[in-house]
Structure 1
Amino acid sequence: MLQEFVGLMSPKMKSLKHLYYLINKLGPVRINTLVEQTGYKHSTCSRLVEELVQAGLIYDSGLGESKGGRKPALYVIKPDSFYLIGAEISSLFTTVLLLDLQLNIIAEHKLKMNETSTPEYTLNFISERIDRMLAEHSVPRERLLGIGVGAIGPIDRNAGTLLSHEHMLAGWERVHIVDFLQRRFQTTVLLDNGINLAALGEYRSKYWKQADSLVYTSSGVAIRCGIILQGQVLGSKLDMDDSLGHITVDVHGRRCSCGAYGCLEAYSSFPSVREEIVRRIKRGKASVLQQMVGQADEVQFHHILDALEQNDPLCYDVVRDAAYYYGIGLSNLIHLLRPEMVIVGGGLGANLTFYEITAETVRSRLQHYRSSKVQIVRASTGYNVVAVGAGCMVLDYFIEEKQTA
């Protein structure tokens, strides 16, 4: 039945889809709550819920507490009625996950990307690992709901194609990911930008019962953000996932790689932090980094993180400044979008010093709105959030009730 929740539907099927969506979000949930949420008559709601039970999509969790009589039914979705594949293709790793409908990770495989990781090799790796996971967990092909893939943008969603990108390995221009996997598995295959799926993965795994709007930001090699508004990913045909990195934080500031001056990325990305640290060492500033590498130009991201762990004053000063500017950038974003939650992620965002200074800067710049309840939180420590979001994208394709203008 779940595959029937797309395209043209009868009024009854739309009602079943609506109930399934609510049970997925609110479960364990009582019939009375579903009646309140939908406005359906109690008898109609009960009949439709029973139809979902008979279809094997939901069940009574048995968690209801009795107050003297029969225990009330509390319904949840049946997580193993179908399965999802979520995959991420990045410049560092390709990740493939087998997920149930509650986005629990059943199995995972990773491929470290290097010069041998051609598109053909990588897509064959994904396909072979999908076959292996389905076989090892006795999942028939007909119970695979679909495959979601997240990748560094830009992408062509309509063509299902990954376009060229400076941070991807050579040879990845115009790779027809969706077509390859659809021919191999004869199932729904969806492609989206990795940062959008990171936002979706974090939101649905942890926050969707408490917030309707969220911004996921990532500071690493570049600065990107994905946006959730009214519970849905804010998509765009423009693929400007790195636009946060090019908002102006200092009109008379440093020159950015884009050619403009004072962009956030010129202060708060890993390349900008590294460049500033190297510049200061060459000017004679002392740092424990000089004991780790032979030449200043050999400094890498992991060296900087190690130096921060050793309370190196030079690295702390540069990262503090980077976090301050990042806080300014996030403050501007909050003023425009007014989200309930902002997540700080990425290689730099994962650093506690960077996060704490960023959060404090945001709070100080939002003092005018003292009643604002915006939460600034760190991203999950796991590395599977994009792949989880990719699997969630497939589930949403079937059950999400799209907002219309």
Structure 2
Amino acid sequence: MMPHSNPSIKKQVYDRISYLGTASKADLLNHFALTSSSMTRLLDEMSSQGLIVVSGLGSSTGGRKPILFRTNPKYRYLFGLEISRIYSSLGLYDMHFNTLSMTRWEMDGNMTPELLVDHVANSAMEFLNEHGISSGDVLGMGIGAVGPLDQKKGIILKPEYFPAASWTNVPICEMLAERLGIPVKLDNGANTALIGEHWALRTENYQHILYVHAGVTIRSAMMSGGQLVRGAVDTEGAVGQMIIQTDGPRLHGKGNYGALEAFVSVPSLEERVRTQLKIGRSSLLSGTPPERVNFATMTEALAQGDLLVTEQFAETAAYLGIGLANLINALHPECVILGGPLVGAHQLVFNASIDVAKKNTYHFPEYSPVFTQGQLKEEAVAAGAAIMLLDEWEGD
């Protein structure tokens, strides 16, 4: 979500101190068109509110050493929730986004929206009790979920490939707000992951970032000028429908023929490995019935250096590189962040995909974006959902 359209001067000063880590009054006066006395009054008000605390003295330039301020990590607390197809996770964060508690659940065939809401509500209350925090000290819960969504109404509309069948038109914000008595806001998980990584990489000052999440499908988000790019509709999984082979296969008989997701996704990888096992290729998985082979068993075989599984992951990575090159050639980011279970499975996936992407990037190496797996990695979606909430908070 975009920051509040016209945040109060107090919130702007708070954000500036948060960005700098520590700041003196002089640092802030250089950035804001306020008089010295107005800034002093504002800093006094923020200190007495508990929004900021004195963190020590800066170095002197001849006179008295300046007082340094920092934001107070314990002023309030935030929850971040990721809802994904393989697992969902909940984190409790302070105002510096230190993770105070974290838990995750496997999204199996029994994990209906009602059951997940039960788990989330119970864990959230446990976390607060454990840290002695009252729910009145919680700013709210941000959710990064699989789309498509109605973000304004807080509804998960009709996502595909959830193991449990009932994930359609789920008013997730209303369900959790009712249980917890706190504000709840929703955005797609690719956007919240990008918000999280942008915050974690803030010292790099990247303005144009592409985030690609490779898992059960391919999801993406883009930031330009430091703001999320939002289209007319919210379909963060649409990048998976990019056609990379016109007469190619479809994933599970749906979507475009030769779409990226038919080559780069957990279901397509499982299908290819099962096919190879059925025709008698030798592998550490040869003793397992093909229908029992899944992403978890393949990841284990990959870690053990299994040749067949390594070859199939490498092929997936090469196709991911083609998709990345197409996106880079169209969007010209300065930084590309790769996340998701496929990328996290093994360093090979990241290395092979960026190698292919670079070879197919126009004007490489003169134009060469930075490739990274980010700082937050598998915590990016949940942490970014909490950061999104703080971005929108008005500082009251």
For the superposition of Structure 1 and Structure 2, which TM-score range results when normalised by the shorter chain? Answer: 0.7 to 0.9
Tell me the distance in 2 between the aligned counterparts of 1:389 and 1:272.
28
In the alignment, which residue of structure 2 is the partner of 1:403? none
- Equivalent positions of 1:44-59 (< 5 A) are 44-59=38-53
Deviations 1:337-367 (A, max 9, x none): 2222111111211121111011111222236
Query: 2:141 maps to what in 1?
Result: 147
- Correspondence for 1:32 among 26, 29, 49: 26
CA distance in 2, matches of 1:304, 1:28: 46
The reply on whether 1:172 has 2:167 as its aligned counterpart is: yes
Any residues of structure 2 matched to 1:99-138 within 5 Å, and which?
Answer: 99-138=93-132
Which of 303, 307, 316 matches 2:297?
303
Q: Match for residue 340 of structure 2?
A: 346
Identify the residue that residue 235 of structure 1 maps to in structure 2: 230
Cα distance in 1 between the residues matched to 2:57 and 2:354:
39
1:384 equivalent in alignment to 2:341: no
Q: Is the 8 A contact 1:21 1:399 kept in 2?
A: no
Identity of matched residues, %: 32
For 2:290 and 2:176, the matched residues in 1 are separated by 45
Could you list the per-position Cα deviations for residues 33-53 of structure 1 after superposition, in whole angstroms to 9, with x for gaps in the alignment? 322322434443343233322
| 2:259 aligned residue (251, 260, 263) | 263
Distance 1:110 1:308 in 2: 24
Q: CA RMSD in A?
A: 2.7
Shift of the 116–275 alpha-carbon distance from structure 1 to 2, 3 Å rule, reads closer
Tell which deviates more after alignment, 84-93 or 61-70.
61-70
| Paired residues of 1:224 and 1:244 also in contact (CA < 8 A) | yes
Q: Do the aligned partners of residues 307 and 20 (structure 1) sit closer, same or farther apart at CA in structure 2, a change above 3 Å counting?
A: same
The count of corresponding residues between Structure 1 and Structure 2 is 390
TM-aligned CA distance change 1:21 to 1:104, over 3 Å:
same
Q: 1:305 to 1:137 in 2, by over 3 A?
A: closer
CA distance in 2: counterparts of 1:129 and 1:306, whole angstroms: 29
1:71 aligned to 2:65?
Answer: yes
For residue 263 of structure 2, what is the amino acid of its counterpart?
Y
Does 2:182 align with 1:203? no
- Secondary structure of 2:257's aligned partner: coil
Q: Secondary structure at the match of 1:61?
A: strand
Conserved in 2, the CA contact under 8 Å of 1:95 and 1:109?
yes
SS of the equivalent of 1:150 reads strand
Q: Secondary structure at the match of 2:8?
A: helix
Shift of 1:259: 4.1
The answer (yes or no) to whether the contact 2:339–2:377 under 8 Å persists in 1 is: no
Q: Structure 1 residues 209 and 186, CA, compared in 2 at 3 Å: closer, same or farther?
A: farther
CA deviation string 1:97-129 (max 9, x = no partner): 221111111123334444543333322332232
Whether 1:212 aligns to 2:204 is no
Q: Secondary structure at the match of 2:23?
A: coil
Aligned equivalents of 1:6, 1:296: Cα separation in 2: 51
1:375 maps to 370
- Give the match for residue 274 of structure 2: 278
Q: Is the 8 A contact 1:26 1:209 kept in 2?
A: no
Per-residue CA shift, 1:134-155, capped at 9, x if unaligned?
Answer: 2332223332111112222122
Query: 2:371 aligns to what SS in structure 1?
Result: strand
Secondary structure at the aligned position of 2:236 is classed as coil
Aligned equivalents of 1:131, 1:203: Cα separation in 2: 29
Alignment partner for residue 157 of structure 1, among 145, 151, 173?
151
Counterpart Cα distance in 2 of 1:32 and 1:161:
45
State how far apart, in whole Å, the 1-side matches of 2:36 and 2:44 are.
Answer: 12
2:196 is the counterpart of 1:222: no
2: distance between equivalents of 1:226 and 1:65?
41
Q: CA deviation at 1:248?
A: 1.9
Amino acid at match of 2:292: E
Q: Is the 8 A contact 2:8 2:394 kept in 1?
A: no
Tell me, in whole angstroms, the C-alpha distance in 1 between the residues paired with 2:138 and 2:294.
42
Deviations 1:54-101 (A, max 9, x none): 221112321623456533233221111111111223344342222111
**Which SS does the other structure have where 1:23 is aligned?**
helix
Q: Does 1:357 align with 2:352?
A: yes
Aligned equivalents of 1:21, 1:183: Cα separation in 2:
30
1:317 aligns with 2:311: yes
CA distance in 1, matches of 2:46, 2:266: 50
Larger mean Cα displacement after TM superposition, 320-329 or 158-167: 158-167
Determine the C-alpha separation between the residues in 2 that align with 1:374 and 1:119: 39
> Residue 60 in 1 paired to residue 48 in 2?
no
Q: Which 10-residue stretch deviates more, 88-97 or 335-344?
A: 88-97
Give TM-score scaled by structure 2 length. Answer: 0.88
- Whole-angstrom CA distance in 2 between matches of 1:119 and 1:247: 30
Structure 1 runs not aligned, ≥5 long: 401-405
